[in-house]
Amino acid sequence: MIEYIIIVALIAIAAIAAYGFFGNTHPGQHGTDVRKAADASANTTKQQGEIDNKLNSYTGNVSE
């Protein structure tokens, strides 16, 4: 029974070490992804605003 406790303890220590090693890498990468998504959303909104602006000044050359 003691050997199972030792194995669980070793796995827990390895998991903590792996999290400590890789845990510092992930937040920096996540921030880059968020920035890219925000830029894409801003560009789409800007393009939509330009289209709306062009349509607002359209007077229509339709004869009635």
DSSP string, 1-64: -HHHHHHHHHHHHHHHHHHHHHTTTHHHHHHHHHHHHHHHHHHHHHHHHHHHHHHHT-------
Is-above-0.85 flag for pTM? no
d(CA 4, CA 17): 20
pLDDT of residue 36: 74
Tens-place pLDDT, residues 20-45:
887 766 555 656 666 777 777 666 76
pLDDT of residue 18: 87
